[in-house]
Amino acid sequence: MSTRQLPASPEDDPRVRAVFDDIRTTRNTEYINNLWRMLAFDPALLENTWQEVKHLMATPSHLDPLTKELVYIAVSITNACGYCVHSHTTAARAKGMTDAQHAEFLSIVGLAAKTNQLATALQVPVDAVFDAGAGLR
Amino acid sequence: MSTRQLPASPEDDPRVRAVFDDIRTTRNTEYINNLWRMLAFDPALLENTWQEVKHLMATPSHLDPLTKELVYIAVSITNACGYCVHSHTTAARAKGMTDAQHAEFLSIVGLAAKTNQLATALQVPVDAVFDAGAGLR
Amino acid sequence: MSTRQLPASPEDDPRVRAVFDDIRTTRNTEYINNLWRMLAFDPALLENTWQEVKHLMATPSHLDPLTKELVYIAVSITNACGYCVHSHTTAARAKGMTDAQHAEFLSIVGLAAKTNQLATALQVPVDAVFDAGAGLR
Amino acid sequence: MSTRQLPASPEDDPRVRAVFDDIRTTRNTEYINNLWRMLAFDPALLENTWQEVKHLMATPSHLDPLTKELVYIAVSITNACGYCVHSHTTAARAKGMTDAQHAEFLSIVGLAAKTNQLATALQVPVDAVFDAGAGLR
Amino acid sequence: MSTRQLPASPEDDPRVRAVFDDIRTTRNTEYINNLWRMLAFDPALLENTWQEVKHLMATPSHLDPLTKELVYIAVSITNACGYCVHSHTTAARAKGMTDAQHAEFLSIVGLAAKTNQLATALQVPVDAVFDAGAGLR
Amino acid sequence: MSTRQLPASPEDDPRVRAVFDDIRTTRNTEYINNLWRMLAFDPALLENTWQEVKHLMATPSHLDPLTKELVYIAVSITNACGYCVHSHTTAARAKGMTDAQHAEFLSIVGLAAKTNQLATALQVPVDAVFDAGAGLR
């Protein structure tokens, strides 16, 4: 079930076709996953979303590809987005995540959520040394 | 303001003192930040929390130290824990995070939250290829 | 699957029947959706919840009906409530939401989540001009 | 700072005055805390919110008063509502919460958040035995 | 306190200056609020974020300006982003939000969160009629 | 669907077998639910998680068993963890939760989320009397 129908022949629209072709080339696969197929109902939304994902996730940059996926999954877990957890865990494996790394990642994600609760529950005042300007004066 | 008083002389309790000493040694600093000082109201809670943080965050492992901090911050941002965002951003800088990496990290954290909203709003069905067992059959 | 059984003949209870009848009249449909059928296990909870929904969502007021649905969906997406996203997206369409409006709504919901992450990650101090009392002095 | 001014003389409005008087009587105190003072900008919103809080939190019922406060705080922590964490932790203490209970409560709130992350990260399928109807067939 | 210093003379960078000038022109004010000033540490992040905000929030479109602000605030409240709640509530007032609309908006945002909890707590199965394809067959 | 395969014969690993045996003894049942079976992919993660759950949830302590389950469910609902809501609602029933208590619990969980939204939307300043140190001076 979903809140929109999957468009039947999305690639009849040349803007959609161009994005799908770019996804296929960038990822070196024929497969277009459901998020992109659903976003095809609005070509502008599809284009903008894909450009941002491609720019940040599929381009060499200052963080290594696996770290970027782990950050992405961490946010997705915390937001309880099942689709995103599935798609980016798959991507992390494709980028070399081992079982030991996965277990450690899960432990850290769990620990962070736990200490988030403690700090919020106690309303711990932020230490002055954590102020970004503090060390500079 | 906080929901508990900071204990006045927490290290009068030997269990608290042992944890604080371990924090000082592990982090090579005299400074004990407020979260630990507040948790000192219950030595068992303090011990358990510190042991878990030390084991996962301050011990060489399968993920590099900066990646672990970034995952921690990603969860903390998404849970809106100001204290944790402050303390772990400070830690990430201490572990070498550059401005360019920080900017890229922020961009990915923002993008993930954005696509989480899209996938949840559309209730996109999970692709069969993302099922962990799928590739094995 | 659910955490409670759907009651078999909920309308045998006159309080449940009265609420269901009011839902049918207010919405001009015979269909009672699953949330109301499940809440029927406790007539008081059912009555209170329906009264609040009816009062706010089905009564002419200071905000137009589509705006109210969009606000409702925005909260439901952010809380990752699949059921509520489904039911209120259906309602928004019934109240005239076009595909172009849906795409724009999705873009704003995504943008808000993204900038929420940026502001929380940076712990941006609130500008004095945003204080509600500021403009008055 | 806040997004609305605190009304200067809210009790000039008889509807506000009636609610404030009921708060004073119900809680046996002269003090009206800021949430109620701010809600006074709209008497209907103030009345409805107070009635619901009074009915559920200040009336003898099927759950004991401290349990109700702990449930309230658990939700408030998870939603990162600092104001609510403060006000209901104060209320829990007034209802007898000991330091040992507070520490245990914090531990459970942290553990729940941690295992929430694990279950969501793994997308664990719900066991058939947890279906509410399962035991009945 | 914040996790980055506000850059001292951000407009010495021509890319930052161009964005700030565009903000001033678009909003018809000399004031640049803190979020933009902090993002100036990375001109690319600043440019991308502002372009997206300008395109969606400051350009005539399929949804009216106040509705867009209300959707933005609804997400920001649910994500507990104090900065965003402040800045967009200010913006909503500038776009004509009345006190009566504000009160009604607050009531709906509260109601949505409440029914989100009920639907998630009961794990209510989604009605087949809410499937976007259902009505078309 | 899930992001990991259920291990086929997890109890071939003696560390997994020891945990599963302890679960069976502690809970007096032969049934091992899916969360534990999935965590078996990493024995250390399984051991640590189970030890924490056993220590907090299955050991007599300062809070009664049903209160602990309700707190657990409250966090799980707010984090939208369907699996956890299912498993702990089942546990709460096993510990004696009545229908009337369930309905009241749901009402409080909903009310808390609603007032969280109100307090965050208004950015209500925390009253000085809620500061934990306030009453002591």
Residue B137 lies in a domain: no
Burial class (CB in 10 A: 0-12, 13-18, 19+), F128: exposed
In the predicted model, is pLDDT for residue D134 greater than 70? Answer: no
Q: Which residues of F touch D100 (CB under 8 A)?
A: 62
Contact F48, F79 (CB under 8 A): no
d(CA C61, CA C57): 9
**pLDDT digits 0-9 by tens, E28-64:** 999 999 999 999 999 999 999 999 999 999 999 999 9
**pLDDT digits 0-9 by tens, C81-130:** 999 999 999 999 999 999 999 999 999 999 999 999 999 999 999 999 99
**pLDDT digits 0-9 by tens, B33-65:** 999 999 999 999 999 999 999 999 999 999 999
By C-alpha distance, which of C1, E114, C7, D93 is closest to F130?
Answer: D93
**pLDDT digits 0-9 by tens, B13-22:** 999 999 999 9
Q: Other CB atoms closer than 10 Å to residue F45's CB: what's the count?
A: 18
**pLDDT digits 0-9 by tens, A88-134:** 999 999 999 999 999 999 999 999 999 999 999 999 999 999 988 76
Residue D134 lies in a domain: no
Q: Other CB atoms closer than 10 Å to residue B45's CB: what's the count?
A: 18
Give chains near A: 3+ CB pairs under 8 A.
B, C, D, E, F
CB contact under 8 A, C107 and A45: yes
Q: DSSP label at F130?
A: G
Write the ipTM: 0.95
In chain C, what's the furthest Cα-to-Cα distance? 61
Q: DSSP label at A123?
A: T
- D136 pLDDT tier (thresholds 50, 70, 90): very low
Residue D81 lies in a domain: yes
pLDDT-above-90 percentage for chain B? 91
CB contact under 8 A, F107 and C81: no
Contact B50, B22 (CB under 8 A): yes
F49 and F66 in a single domain? The answer is no
d(CA D75, CA F72): 10
By C-alpha distance, which of A80, E39, E69 is closest to F121?
Answer: E69
Contact B53, A115 (CB under 8 A): yes
Q: Which residue has the higher pLDDT, C135 or C32?
A: C32
Among residues A41, A59, A77, the one where a domain terminates is A59
E49 and E83 in a single domain? The answer is no
Q: Is B31 left (phi over 0), alpha (psi -120 to 50) or beta?
A: beta
Residue A54 lies in a domain: yes
B36 and B68 in a single domain? The answer is no
Among residues D26, D42, D59, the one where a domain terminates is D59
Among A70, A125, A127, the residue with its CB nearest the CB of B71 is A70
d(CA D104, CA D60): 25
Q: Which residues contact B68 (CB under 8 A, 6 or more apart)?
A: A104, A108, B56, B57, B61
In the predicted model, is pLDDT for residue B137 greater than 50? Answer: no
Among E80, E86, E107, the residue with its CB nearest the CB of D45 is E107
**Average model confidence (pLDDT) for chain C?**
95
**Which amino acid is residue D101, in one-letter code?**
Q
Contact F50, F23 (CB under 8 A): yes
CB contact under 8 A, E122 and F110: no
Dihedral of CA atoms F105, A123, E40, E69 in degrees, nearest 10, equals: 30
Contact A66, A96 (CB under 8 A): yes
Please provide the DSSP assignment of B36-69 as one string: HHHHTTSHHHHHHHHHHHHHHHSS--SS-HHHHH
Element (H, E) at A95: none
F77 and F109 in a single domain? The answer is yes
Residue F2 lies in a domain: no
Residue E137 lies in a domain: no
Question: Model pTM?
Answer: 0.97
C51 and C101 in a single domain? The answer is no
In the predicted model, is pLDDT for residue F78 greater than 80? Answer: yes
CB contact under 8 A, B107 and E45: yes
CATH code (residue D112) = 1.20.1290.10
Q: Other CB atoms closer than 10 Å to residue E33's CB: what's the count?
A: 19
In the predicted model, is pLDDT for residue F87 greater than 70? Answer: yes
Closest Cα in chain B to A99: B62
How close is the nearest chain D Cα to the Cα of A36, in Å? 21
How close is the nearest chain F Cα to the Cα of D53, in Å? 7
Token readout for A121 is 């529950």
Domain assignment of residue F29, given as a range: 8-59
Structural domain count, chain A: 2
Identify the contact set of chain F against chain C, taking CB-CB distances under 8 A: 80, 85-86, 89-90, 99-100, 102-103, 106-107, 110, 117
Number of continuous H segments (helices) and E segments (strands) in chain B: 6, 0
Q: Which residues contact A26 (CB under 8 A, 6 or more apart)?
A: A54, A58
Please provide the DSSP assignment of C101-116 as one string: HHHHHHHHHHHHHHHH
Contact F115, D53 (CB under 8 A): yes
CB contact under 8 A, C76 and E38: no
CB contact under 8 A, B86 and C123: yes
Q: What is each CA distance from D47 to D69, E61, E126, F117, in whole angstroms?
A: 21, 38, 33, 17
Contact E115, C53 (CB under 8 A): yes
In chain B, what's the furthest Cα-to-Cα distance? 61
Q: Which residues contact D30 (CB under 8 A, 6 or more apart)?
A: D24
Among residues B44, B59, B74, the one where a domain terminates is B59
d(CA A40, CA A23): 13
Mean pLDDT of C50-66: 96
**Which amino acid is residue E113, in one-letter code?**
A
d(CA D87, CA A35): 42
Chain-centre distance for alpha carbon A115: 23
E44 and E26 in a single domain? The answer is yes
Token readout for D31 is 């003090």
Chain-centre distance for alpha carbon A57: 8
C80 and C51 in a single domain? The answer is no
Contact E115, F110 (CB under 8 A): yes
**pLDDT digits 0-9 by tens, D59-102:** 999 999 999 999 999 999 999 999 999 999 999 999 999 999 99
In chain A, what's the furthest Cα-to-Cα distance? 61
The pair phi, psi for residue D133, each rounded to 5°, is -85, -10
B54 and B87 in a single domain? The answer is no
What's residue E61's pLDDT?
93
Q: DSSP label at C32?
A: -
**pLDDT digits 0-9 by tens, A25-52:** 999 999 999 999 999 999 999 999 999 9
Contact B21, B27 (CB under 8 A): no
CB contact under 8 A, B107 and E48: yes
- F134 pLDDT tier (thresholds 50, 70, 90): low
Token readout for B36 is 């630990």
- For D6, half-sphere exposure in the C-beta direction (CA atoms, 13 angstrom radius) is 13
Q: Which residues of C touch B123 (CB under 8 A)?
A: 82, 85-86
In the predicted model, is pLDDT for residue C135 greater than 70? Answer: no
Q: Which residues of E touch F126 (CB under 8 A)?
A: none
Give chains near E: 3+ CB pairs under 8 A.
A, B, C, D, F
The pair phi, psi for residue B85, each rounded to 5°, is -60, -45
**pLDDT digits 0-9 by tens, F27-47:** 999 999 999 999 999 999 999
d(CA E95, CA E30): 18
Alpha helices in E1-137 (DSSP H): 14-27, 34-39, 43-57, 65-78, 82-94, 99-122
CB contact under 8 A, C118 and E2: no
Contact C36, C87 (CB under 8 A): no
In the predicted model, is pLDDT for residue A136 greater than 60? Answer: no
B68 and B54 in a single domain? The answer is no
How close is the nearest chain D Cα to the Cα of E128, in Å? 19
Q: Which of B115-119, D17-21, E3-7 has the lowest mean pLDDT?
A: E3-7
Q: Which residues of D touch A119 (CB under 8 A)?
A: none
Closest Cα in chain A to F82: A80
**pLDDT digits 0-9 by tens, F96-116:** 999 999 999 999 999 999 999
Residue A1 lies in a domain: no
Identify the contact set of chain C against chain D, taking CB-CB distances under 8 A: 1-5, 126, 128, 130-133, 136
**pLDDT digits 0-9 by tens, E16-33:** 999 999 999 999 999 999
| SS3 at position F125 | coil
CB contact under 8 A, F41 and A80: no
C77 and C105 in a single domain? The answer is yes
What's residue C130's pLDDT?
95
CB contact under 8 A, D1 and E86: yes
Q: What is each CA distance from E1 to B35, B94, E83, in whole angstroms?
A: 17, 18, 13
d(CA D108, CA D83): 21
Where would I find the beta strands (DSSP E) of C1-137? none
Residue A24 lies in a domain: yes
C75 and C118 in a single domain? The answer is yes
Q: What is each CA distance from E31 to C137, D74, E23, E25, E36, in whole angstroms?
A: 18, 40, 9, 11, 10
Q: Which residues contact E36 (CB under 8 A, 6 or more apart)?
A: E19, E20, E23, E46, E50
B55 and B66 in a single domain? The answer is no
d(CA F49, CA F15): 13
